[in-house]
Amino acid sequence: MPKHTLTTESGAPVADNQNSASAGAGGPLLIQDQQLIEKLARFNRERIPERVVHARGSGAYGYFEVTDDVTGFTRADFLNTVGKRTETFIRFSTVADSLGGADAVRDPRGFALKFYTEEGNYDLVGNNTPVFFIKDPIKFPDFIHSQKRDPFTGIQEADNVWDFWSHSPEATHQITWLFGDRGIPASYRHMNGFGSHTYQWTNAQGEAFFVKYHFKTNQGVRSLSSEQAAEQVGADANSHQRDLVQAIERGVNPSWTLHVQIMPAAEAADYRFNPFDVTKVWPHADYPLRRVGRLVLDRNPDNVFQEVEQAAFSPNNFVPGIGPSPDKMLQGRLFAYADAQRYRLGVNHTLLPVNAPKATEAVNYGRDGLAATRNGKRGLKNYEPNSYEGPSQTDLALSAPQAVSGYTGTHEVPPHVKDDHFFQAGELYRLMSEDEKSRLVANIAGFLAQVTRDDVIDRNLAHFHAADTEYGTRVEAAVRAIREG
Q: How would DSSP label each residue in 378-416?
A: TT--SSSS-SSS--------SS------S--S--PPPP-
Q: Look up 160 and say whether it is catalytic.
A: no
> Average pLDDT, whole number, for the chain?
95
Active-site hit among 121, 127, 274, 300: 127
Q: pLDDT band at 15, cuts 50/70/90?
A: very high
pLDDT at position 379 is: 77
Encode pLDDT of 384-405 as tens digits. Answer: 898 988 889 999 898 999 888 8
The yes-or-no verdict on residue 380 having pLDDT over 70 is: yes
pLDDT at position 414 is: 86
Q: How would DSSP label each residue in 197-214?
A: S-EEEE-TT--EEEEEEE
DSSP 353: T
Find residue 264's DSSP bridge partners. 209
Find residue 29's DSSP bridge partners. 22
The yes-or-no verdict on residue 26 having pLDDT over 80 is: yes
Mean pLDDT computed over 190-198? 98
pLDDT at position 325 is: 97
Q: pLDDT band at 76, cuts 50/70/90?
A: very high
Q: Look up 463 and say whether it is catalytic.
A: no
pLDDT at position 321 is: 97
Active-site hit among 4, 17, 19, 54: 54
Q: pLDDT band at 2, cuts 50/70/90?
A: low
Mean pLDDT computed over 111-131? 97
Encode pLDDT of 457-484 as tens digits. Answer: 999 999 999 999 999 999 999 999 999 9
Give one word for 24, left, alpha or beta, with left for phi > 0 and alpha for psi -120 to 50: left
Phi, psi of 417, rounded to the nearest 5 degrees: -55, -45
Does the bond joining 385 to the residue before it have cis omega, within 30 degrees of 0? yes
pLDDT at position 1 is: 53
Phi, psi of 163, rounded to the nearest 5 degrees: -65, -45
pLDDT at position 408 is: 86
